[in-house]
Amino acid sequence: MSLEFGAKVRRIPVYPAADGYAAEGPVAKLASNESPYPPVPEVLEAATRALGGVNRYPDPTNAALRTRLADRYDVPANRIAVGNGSCDILLAAGDALLEPGAEVVYAWPSFSVYPHLAAASGARAIEVPLDDDHRHDLARMREEITVATRLVVVCNPNNPTSTALPLEEIAAFIDDVPRHVAVILDEAYCEFSILQDPDESIGLLKKHPNLALLRTFSKVYGLCGLRVGFALCGSEAFRTAVDQVRQPFFCNAAAQAAAVEALNHQDEVARRVERNLAERIGLEDGLRRLGLAPAESQANFVWFDLPEADEPAETEREVLKGLAERAILVRSGESLGRAGALRVTVGTEAENERFLEALAVLL
């Protein structure tokens, strides 16, 4: 007899993990929007020191990290949620806000974890197609908000399409969202955007108790392997709710210590942003030389359609297979709702060149 799982298991999509993690040799990992640069030595030392004390549970209140974040962003510590990656907070928000009969609105294609929110809770997912420039269509998203809506998620810059909207447009949208609807502005990649200073959106919290800004140490800080993210919330109630629905000790001691130290290295953040920009321009130029048209990126990845084909999904699979055979991992567009497209993380110069050379052969 086989096990009988609940309806949740039938609803929740399996996360589309890229193959090749166990491969030997120099794999170009361009599938998960990671940083190609390891943490600075001081961050590694802080994490290592914390490892010496792992016979104890980590601080369940994440006090040192929340205090440091409160100083850095001028948001009271009681409105800062910490998580085992920002995904942890996202899923907790879904758990806290959604239930059967409720609705969650987000753009599509967007971050592959958003569909889990509805699937896990039994709420209805309202996926609003991006516009022709691969950007959020905020006017249409507003139209989809009803009395049943509990949560709206805006991803800026958007994963997987890399595009961003100016903050004024997002601010006007949030102004127009009814107060009883929670808004999560997922800013996992905001440091890479040159449209505005990433600190600018924090001002919105003063006006909107229903808003939470989701941030992470996984991308520009390069700590995704440790799993630590945070949310800056417009109200204490949001933080309390996302803490309530999770197990205690959701952020491990090494992650907390590394994140505190990483915040001391804003010069390194600036350097990484500059390097990403330079490498991204090289990657985009290379794609254009191949006749491709990447979306306008404000992130550490690029998104483009492969040349038009009768069977876009088939073409995409062939290209992915050819890249994987050359130990180059990128994200499938088909798995993200757009067959015939690819998402490629900006890697080191050598990795980007390796990817471009392989793609030229495969096309």
**243 is an interface residue for ligand PLP by CB under 6 A:** no
- Using the rule CB under 6 A, is 159 a contact of ligand PLP? yes
Q: Are 213 and 75 in contact (CB under 8 A)?
A: no
> Is 193 one of the binding residues for ligand PLP (CB under 6 A)?
no
Using CB positions, name the residue nearest to ligand PLP: 85
Residue 155 binds ligand PLP (CB under 6 A): yes
Nearer to ligand PLP, 86 or 352 (CB): 86
63-72 own/partner pairs: CB under 8 Å, 24+ apart: 64/256, 64/257, 64/260, 65/228, 65/230, 65/251, 65/256, 65/259, 65/260, 66/230, 68/260, 68/263, 69/230, 69/232, 69/263, 72/263
Q: Which of 216, 252, 298, 345 binds ligand PLP (CB under 6 A)?
A: 216
Site membership for ligand PLP, residue 188 (CB under 6 A): yes
State which residue, 39 or 85, has the beta carbon closest to ligand PLP.
Answer: 85
Number of residues that bind ligand PLP (CB under 6 A): 13
Please state the closest distance from residue 196 (CB atom) to ligand PLP, in A. Answer: 18
For the CB of residue 193, give the shortest distance to ligand PLP in the complex, in Å: 13
Position 213 contacts ligand PLP (CB under 6 A): no
Measuring CA to CA, which residue among 297, 342, 74, 111 is closest to residue 192?
Answer: 297
Parallel, antiparallel or unpaired: strands 301-305 and 341-345: antiparallel
Exactly one of 33, 163, 298, 315 binds ligand PLP (CB under 6 A); which one?
A: 33
Q: Please name the amino acid found at residue 242.
A: V
For residue 18, state whether it binds ligand PLP (rule: CB under 6 A): no
Measured from the CB atom, the residue of 159 and 252 that comes closer to ligand PLP is 159
> 17 or 64, CB closer to ligand PLP?
17
Q: Does 218 bind ligand PLP (CB under 6 A)?
A: yes
Return the residue of 109, 229, 333, 340 that touches ligand PLP, per CB under 6 A.
229
Which bin fits 291, alpha (ψ -120 to 50), beta or left (φ > 0)? Answer: left
Residue 87 or 98 having the CB closest to ligand PLP: 87
**Is 39 near ligand PLP (CB under 6 A)?**
no
115 binds ligand PLP (CB under 6 A): no
CA distances, 27 to each of 21, 222, 242, 283 (Å): 8, 18, 37, 18
Q: Which helix (H) or strand (E) holds 344?
A: strand 341-345
- Side by side, which strands form the sheet with 229-233? 80-83, 229-233, 211-216, 182-186, 149-155, 103-108, 124-129
Q: Is 121 in the site for ligand PLP (CB under 6 A)?
A: no
Residue 175 identity (one-letter amino acid): D
Q: How far is the CB of 10 from ligand PLP (least distance, A)?
A: 24
Per-residue string for binding with ligand PLP, 60-99, x by CB under 6 A?
A: -------------------------xxx------------
Burial class (CB in 10 A: 0-12, 13-18, 19+), 18: middle
Task: Point out which residues bind ligand PLP (CB under 6 A).
Answer: 33, 85-87, 111, 155, 159, 186, 188, 216, 218, 224, 229
